[in-house]
Structure 1
Amino acid sequence: MPRIAIAAPSPFCARLGADIAEQGGSAVDILVGVSLAATVSEPGVCCPGAGGFLTIGGPGVNPVTIDGYLAVPGLGHPDSASRTSHRVTMEYGAGTITEVGAGSVAVPGSIAAFHSAWSRWGRMPWEDLLIHVADAVDSGFPMSSAADRYLAAGGDLIYTRDQRVADVLFPGGVQLRTGESVVIPGLGASLRQIGVEGPATLYGGELGRMVVDGLASDGGIMTLRDLADYQAQDRPSLTGRFLGWEFATNPPPAIGGVTLTAILEHIEGSPLDPNSWVRAQELVFGLRRRLLDNSADRVDGAARLLAASRSASTVATAVASDDGWVAAATMSAGYGSGVSPGETGMWMNNSLGELELNRRSQDEWTAGERLPSNMAPTVLRSGNGRRVAISSPGADRITSAIAITIALLVAGDGDLVLAVEHPRVHLQFDESGSMVAVEHGLEVETDLEVRHHEPHDMYFGGVVAAAIDPVEAHADSRRAGGVLIIEV
């Protein structure tokens, strides 16, 4: 009987994963169920109208990444320039400027990606899987500490514009706090509809029409054709080696896996030195801004970034089973649009408004193209058979969080918990220049401006990792996740 390790964004999600395992679900069923639960039960951090990536490997299955990321809307729209959004400034991190509202919503791909993975490697009936999640959220889920902290850092600027959303998160004008029950009207019914009718009800069907109509009434430009034409895409994972370990991560056109690969290459000589981490980030992030962030051809830009580097609101889940499966997923809805279209309960992303990722101007976007993503769900394998699935939320901090964790795990003493919990650094670029964010417990030598953070600051991501040989898992205390080891 296999032993399964689950690392999830919250205890609620981890317990749901254990329930799926006990009902005979495969490792991929668990990944799908937990990731779906995470998108709907971390309000502000993520939402049902999300997008993301799953990286999966198993017996006879070379690592593959399923691209279910968000796409530019507007196919068949008579005036895509008419989208309406609102710019807000939150206290999150060092201050975050983003655009919200219906006009900031991109085409969601998470449900399509989940179904793509399930259709090949799932055992549990799709309807049962979706109903299981629907029943759990209908009963109410506890507000997570990560969602609480995010909402307290400016969530009222986003999540009080739509009264249906405000009534859930700010009843009577007061924010729900950690542990209080959250119930989102209409969400359970929408998930059951997707379970019974399949994803087609969202991607061009009745549910999709309700979402589109709800967004259009508030300045959104997503069309039913956007949803009907959307497809999750398989991409052979980007592979590499780091100190004798093989890894597989998110390939182009996403930028996260390429960035992670380049950082690992540049810290391999001094993998435990924080100054090495800073130097690598300064080089690689600089190349990313020059070659990728404004590039219309991100596949070509990714190749040029790797060549050049060699010359000188997100949720994450990881599952590992000792029958050989390792799988990681990362899902994002940006900072959230604050919009619940119609009575669907399908709260939507604001990924068109993620200004730190979308550096190209709006008139350069092409409807249907994938937006840039820094996500990098990754699986690793050592020469002695140890396998690890690792992922993290954290917007532009994702790759630095994962790279530092991998370096500490592989080059250190192999302790998964210590690798995840170790203090981190992140090189942050803005229009005025660059600075180094340093978590308490680290000292770095740099000529750049340094900003010090408190210990275990959620700004630095929330790594989740699950492993076999031995079977273990850990969820970053920066986001108070949930971990379970079960035998079925």
Structure 2
Amino acid sequence: MGATRQVAIAATGAASLGAGEAVVAEGGNAVDAAIAAAITSMSTEPGIVSLAGGAFVTIWPASGPPVVLDGNVAMPGRGLPRGAFGGGVREVVTDYGGGVTMYAGHGSVAVPGALSAYEAAVTRFGSRPWASVVAPAAGVCRDGYPIGGAATRYLGYVADGLFGLDPGARALTRRPDGSPFVAGDLAHNLELATVLDAVAREGASLLMTGDLGHALAADMAANGGLVTQADLTAYEVVERTPVRRRVGDWDVAVNPPPSVGGPMLAVMLSELERTHGFSWDDVVRIQRAVLAYRLAVHDVSRDLDADGHALLAAVERHGLAGLPTSASTAHVSAVDSDGLACAVTMSSGYGAGVTIPGTGILLNNALGEPELNRLGLHALEPGTRLASNMAPTVARAEDGRVLAVGSPGADRITTALMQVLAQLCLHGADLDTAIQAPRVHVRFAEDGEAVVEHEASPEIEAAVAAAGLRGLDHGELSMYFGGVGAAYRGSDGGLRAAGDPRREAAVGVA
């Protein structure tokens, strides 16, 4: 359809939206637009996400079944002696998120897979050359990009403790004079622009088996990191079949095991469907049961794939009675007028606080996120995909409606999407109403007590009281509860996108 194609894009900010729009202007489709926006987001939001992270890309073609391209991070250490594990990290304590303790440094870095997944998506489903999809990010890094409010707030907590020791990281996370970033500051990353030019020419393999990968492995070896050239060479994007559930008159496709977020979302949606409606009592009850199961089983699982499928099978047969007993993210959604949907969720953890020298690339700290490594530091076998809360979701209805949706927000990703999809698919709410409705998240304290975190709402307070649980009111529209972004095609073919007022967003139809 060329220039006549339109694409609805829900991006993370002006720079990422502009990248998606630029690719659409050249004839790009929803996949091209989403990937261009995602690469730009990972290049221009220091501290939030980075190119050396992981991502899931969920795509539903206009004809044919949906697919998930798993580019999540993996456990490194192939070829290393056992004595190499368990070190290379430093503890960082921060007030972010009410108090977070993490591990940073070279030993916290997992094998990155996002760029590889992005290239696979464009090669298989895109309509523009890879170089055209990467080019906007390189241009923005060269010409300048505004620092967003989310990055400013996060760096306000961690700029010194997390990013203050490595010269490259320091340069990327503050003004040239060393003072803190202020939202709206124009930043540049000329080193990364040069790297992106090379990625456009040579492909994502540059970061894996090319010169950039060799530089990463050498830097890891010199500083106690675990990522080896063998890890980078062995890494493969895995194509997975999504878990599909009927929610109202929608066919919803979510991220499958070994992801944690997708199965939890599927179970929550299935149980809401069983109730034939939506009430805050149901939301609290379902979240409490599913997240308690996650805490007891998934968070300490050594086989997330098997445990995830066991959960789905048990709940499919018996409902919640069949339950077996025993942070920083970004999201982009796009739907085009042809009916192609693409949802991309990406993460670099809290950040390792170090760079690949001379590249302008901040590294992930996926091994240093305690909530995703409850078995302990470096406990997994090399090559194992790490646990993930990411749940990029696509959906279709028989009347031609198409949806791509997702959210950042650590373990609040699944609960935010549960509530938005329930409002949209079961209540028939429009996009903005579904996204702006107040939210609930059941959190388990260290002593096992269930605490209902929620936004201001008398109805929610009544449901919390009826459940006999302790509640914690975050006020209205708190960033704690994620930042849902959705792109949508209506039954009449009209396109629209919606972003979450809880977190920066930029939406448009190009």
Match of 1:221 in 2: 226
Q: Which runs of 4+ in 1 moved over 4 A?
A: none
- 1:131 Cα shift? 2.4
Match of 1:94 in 2: 98
Q: How does 1:37-436 map to 2 (within 5 A)?
A: 37-78=40-81, 79-81=83-85, 83-171=87-175, 172-268=177-273, 269=275, 271-309=277-315, 310-312=319-321, 313-362=328-377, 364-433=379-448, 434-436=450-452
- Give, in whole Å, the separation in 1 of the partners of 2:251 and 2:42: 29
- 1:456 and 2:460 aligned: no
- Give, in whole Å, the separation in 2 of the partners of 1:28 and 1:129: 10
1:186–1:330 Cα change, 3 Å: same
- Give, in whole Å, the separation in 2 of the partners of 1:454 and 1:215: 43
Instruction: Give the alignment's TM-score, normalised by structure 1.
Output: 0.96
Residues 172, 360 of structure 2: 8 Å contact kept: no
1:184–1:376 Cα change, 3 Å: same
- Give, in whole Å, the separation in 1 of the partners of 2:211 and 2:482: 36
1:80–1:274 Cα change, 3 Å: farther
- 1:82 Cα shift? 5.3
- Give, in whole Å, the separation in 2 of the partners of 1:308 and 1:124: 43
Residues 40, 136 of structure 2: 8 Å contact kept: no
Residues 141, 182 of structure 1: 8 Å contact kept: yes
- 1:153 Cα shift? 3.2
- Give, in whole Å, the separation in 2 of the partners of 1:414 and 1:384: 16
SS of corresponding position for 2:162? helix
- Give, in whole Å, the separation in 2 of the partners of 1:408 and 1:400: 12
457-466 vs 299-308, which deviates more? 299-308
94-103 vs 124-133, which deviates more? 124-133
258-267 vs 443-452, which deviates more? 443-452
- 1:207 Cα shift? 0.8
Task: Structure 2: state its 5+ residue gaps.
Answer: 322-327
SS of corresponding position for 2:372? coil
- Post-superposition Cα deviations, 1:382-439, rounded to whole Å, max 9, x if no partner, equal 2322111001111111000111000111222431011111111111124222311111
1:215–1:184 Cα change, 3 Å: farther
- Give, in whole Å, the separation in 2 of the partners of 1:181 and 1:447: 49
- Give, in whole Å, the separation in 1 of the partners of 2:320 and 2:489: 36
Instruction: Give the alignment's TM-score, normalised by structure 2.
Output: 0.92
Instruction: Give the AA of the match of 2:204.
Output: P
Instruction: Give the AA of the match of 1:338.
Output: G
Matched residue count: 486
Instruction: Give the AA of the match of 2:79.
Output: G
- Give, in whole Å, the separation in 1 of the partners of 2:377 and 2:166: 25
- 1:314 Cα shift? 0.5
Residues 265, 415 of structure 2: 8 Å contact kept: yes
- 1:476 and 2:500 aligned: yes
- 1:147 Cα shift? 1.1
212-221 vs 118-127, which deviates more? 212-221
- 1:161 Cα shift? 1.9
- Give, in whole Å, the separation in 1 of the partners of 2:436 and 2:16: 20
363-372 vs 77-86, which deviates more? 77-86
Residues 204, 225 of structure 1: 8 Å contact kept: no
- Give, in whole Å, the separation in 2 of the partners of 1:154 and 1:363: 23
- Give, in whole Å, the separation in 2 of the partners of 1:179 and 1:216: 37
- Post-superposition Cα deviations, 1:181-236, rounded to whole Å, max 9, x if no partner, equal 12224111111111111222211221111122223333211111111111111001
- Give, in whole Å, the separation in 2 of the partners of 1:63 and 1:483: 24
1:450–1:311 Cα change, 3 Å: closer
Instruction: Give the AA of the match of 2:284.
Output: V
SS of corresponding position for 2:288? helix
- 1:150 Cα shift? 1.6
- 1:270 Cα shift? 6.0
- 1:164 Cα shift? 1.7
Match of 2:23 in 1: 20
104-113 vs 438-447, which deviates more? 438-447
SS of corresponding position for 2:257? coil
Match of 2:324 in 1: none
SS of corresponding position for 2:96? coil
- 1:11 and 2:32 aligned: no
- 1:331 Cα shift? 0.2
Residues 326, 389 of structure 1: 8 Å contact kept: yes
SS of corresponding position for 1:364? coil
1:270–1:278 Cα change, 3 Å: farther
Residues 389, 411 of structure 2: 8 Å contact kept: yes
- Give, in whole Å, the separation in 2 of the partners of 1:248 and 1:86: 39
Residues 82, 219 of structure 1: 8 Å contact kept: no
- Give, in whole Å, the separation in 2 of the partners of 1:239 and 1:75: 35
Residues 453, 471 of structure 2: 8 Å contact kept: yes
- 1:451 Cα shift? 1.6
Residues 261, 390 of structure 2: 8 Å contact kept: yes
- Post-superposition Cα deviations, 1:356-392, rounded to whole Å, max 9, x if no partner, equal 1221124631001100011110011123221110011
Instruction: Give the AA of the match of 2:105.
Output: G
